[in-house]
Amino acid sequence: MLHQLPRNVRQQAVREIRRVLKPGDRVVIVDFQDSGKRNGFIQHFRRHRHGHVKIDDMLAVLNQAGLQITQSGPFREPNLYFVMATV
């Protein structure tokens, strides 16, 4: 749901996630990414969502909040992307 939030609220949300995590805890974010295709099941939902977050922007928000990116990449569907980060 982070892609639904304005940038400043998204940054606040990630800072709050960071605040409540203990050392060694992790957070996983899965979000829609543009595959260039304009048809299909996932694209139907992308057309109806609000806001847009590029994966590089999400990585930056997590890093700025003090989280360390441990993994990122495509997640099952070609239009989904995940980021895993730890404290």
Per domain, the residue ranges of the chain are 2-86
pLDDT at 50: 46
Long-range contacts, 48-55 (Cβ 8 Å, 24+):
49/3, 49/4, 50/3, 50/4, 51/3, 51/4, 51/5, 51/6, 52/3, 53/2, 53/3, 53/10, 55/31, 55/81, 55/83
pLDDT at 6: 85
Contact 31, 58 (CB under 8 A): yes
33-81 pLDDT, tens digit each: 755 555 555 555 555 554 457 888 889 999 999 999 999 988 876 678 8
Task: Specify the higher pLDDT residue, 86 or 2.
Answer: 86
Q: Which CATH architecture has domain 2-86?
A: 3-Layer(aba) Sandwich (3.40)
pTM, full prediction = 0.74
